[in-house]
């Protein structure tokens, strides 16, 4: 089995990389470090590492999770009209519910990531038990095969709250996408300096769908293969721009262009001291944050927001000549 770019497959294929790294006498001192906003691959790989450290091996059914992650990354999972009954749906439900809770209580991204990891690990333990019992999550549903969840109404435990959240959030997405602005954007090709490509993009103000960007990137109902770029505007001055992981495009240079436009609007010197800008924190951070995300695929405003309107942001997004790498 080729590992490709999957961390899950790497840990599964070469468990010795984990087992030889830490001896049993130092297990209590091991710290798992995950990226900001860990994706499904990072979460499953971290769970595998924990299992290896705790038990010394992975269950025989773990290969299904490896294959599931691979198909998720390549978009080759069997289609289903009820994503909320799938492992991916549950993990999205976990993330969405935690996001709502952390926003309501003004908790940090770090705290949200911790909640995501804890609840996802709990789900993955349940999932491994079901896989061992004969559930198949990677092939088309066969007659008489055990299902991961019952599909009757009302939704029954376990993880019924996550499943209900995803179902409702998809309904909200359909309402949001009907009023969203769709446009064609010419964006830089990832890894090919000077190359550009036409990309499908969508922008929306104050979406009622918590996971709008996720659904938009995977939307094959309104596009052929999902929106490559999603622009969210929330609470007037806060933005989040995300690129579909498999789109092959990037936002390199856009952050500096947006900063320049903002300083011009605020009548600040282009190379001026950013301390003079109003802040919610004392740190001299930029108003736009693209750090900590690989390949320039995510850009969002920091806590203080921006003075730019959505129209001004979209004008820059659609004029790549003004971007400054």
Identify the pLDDT of residue 310.
Answer: 95
In percent, how much of the chain has pLDDT > 70?
87
Identify the pLDDT of residue 288.
Answer: 58
Task: Give tens-digit pLDDT for 181-217.
Answer: 999 999 999 989 889 999 999 999 999 999 999 999 9
Task: Give tens-digit pLDDT for 270-312.
Answer: 544 433 333 323 233 345 554 445 557 899 998 888 999 999 9
Identify the pLDDT of residue 207.
Answer: 97
**Mean per-residue pLDDT, 15-21:** 89
Sheet containing 196-205: give its strands across.
181-188, 196-205, 229-234, 238-243, 298-301, 288-289
What are the extents of the domains in the chain?
7-139+151-170, 180-322
- What does the DSSP 8-state code read for residue 189? B
Label the pairing between strands 181-188 and 229-234.
unpaired
- What CA–CA distance (Å, rounded) separates 85 from 79? 12
Asked whether 249 and 184 are in contact (CB, 8 A), the reply is no
158, 164, 170, 171: CA torsion to nearest 10? 160
The 3-class secondary structure across 216-265, one letter per residue, is: HHCCCCCCCCCCCEEEEEECCCEEEEEECCCCCECCCCHHHHHHHHHHHH
Q: Which two tokens stand for residue 1?
A: 């089995």
Q: Which two tokens stand for residue 67?
A: 């294959």
Tell me which of 11-20, 226-235, 289-298, 309-318 is least confident. 289-298
Identify the pLDDT of residue 143.
Answer: 45
Task: Give tens-digit pLDDT for 59-118.
Answer: 999 999 999 999 998 888 877 889 999 999 999 999 999 999 999 999 999 999 999 999
In percent, how much of the chain has pLDDT > 90?
67
Cα 100 → chain centroid: 15
Given a cut of 70, is residue 145 above it in pLDDT? Answer: no
pTM for the whole structure: 0.87
pLDDT band at 28 (very low <50, low <70, confident <90, very high): confident
- What CA–CA distance (Å, rounded) separates 321 from 325? 11
- What CA–CA distance (Å, rounded) separates 209 from 230? 13
Identify the pLDDT of residue 146.
Answer: 66
Identify the pLDDT of residue 287.
Answer: 55
Identify the burial level of 193 via C-beta atoms within 10 angstroms of its C-beta, where 0-12 means exposed, 13-18 middle and 19 or more buried. Answer: exposed
Residue 257's contacts (CB-CB under 8 Å, 6 or more residues apart) are: 316, 322, 323, 324
Q: Which two tokens stand for residue 254?
A: 């856009």
Identify the pLDDT of residue 274.
Answer: 38
């Amino acid at each position: 089995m080729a590992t490709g770019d999957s961390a899950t497959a790497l840990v599964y294929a070469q468990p010795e990389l984990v087992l030889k790294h830490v001896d049993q006498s130092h297990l209590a001192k091991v710290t798992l470090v995950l990226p900001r906003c860990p994706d499904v691959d990072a979460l499953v790989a971290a769970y595998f590492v924990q299992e290896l450290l705790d038990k010394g091996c992975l269950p025989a059914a773990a290969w299904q999770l490896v294959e599931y992650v691979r198909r998720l990354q390549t978009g080759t999972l069997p289609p289903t009209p009820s994503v909320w009954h799938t492992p991916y749906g549950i993990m999205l439900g976990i993330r969405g519910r935690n996001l709502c809770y952390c926003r309501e209580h003004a908790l940090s991204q770090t705290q949200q990531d911790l909640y995501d990891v804890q609840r996802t690990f709990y789900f993955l333990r349940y999932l491994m038990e079901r896989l061992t019992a004969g559930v198949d999550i990677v092939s088309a549903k066969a007659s008489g095969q055990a299902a991961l969840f019952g599909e009757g109404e009302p939704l029954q435990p376990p993880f019924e709250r996550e499943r209900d959240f995803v179902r409702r959030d998809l309904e909200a997405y359909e309402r949001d996408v009907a009023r969203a602005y769709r446009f064609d954007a010419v964006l830089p090709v990832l890894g090919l300096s000077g190359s550009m490509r036409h990309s499908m993009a969508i922008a929306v103000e104050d979406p009622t769908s918590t996971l709008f960007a996720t659904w938009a990137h995977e939307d094959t109902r309104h596009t052929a293969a999902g929106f490559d770029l999603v622009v969210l505007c929330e609470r007037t001055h806060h933005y989040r721009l995300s690129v579909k992981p498999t789109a092959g495009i990037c936002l390199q240079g856009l952050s500096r262009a947006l900063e320049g436009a903002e300083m011009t609007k605020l009548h600040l010197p282009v190379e001026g001291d950013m301390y003079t800008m109003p802040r919610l924190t004392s740190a001299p951070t930029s108003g736009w944050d693209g750090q900590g995300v690989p390949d320039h695929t995510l850009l969002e405003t920091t806590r203080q927001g921006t003075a730019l309107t959505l129209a001004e942001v979209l004008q820059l997004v659609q004029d790549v000549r003004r971007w400054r790498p």
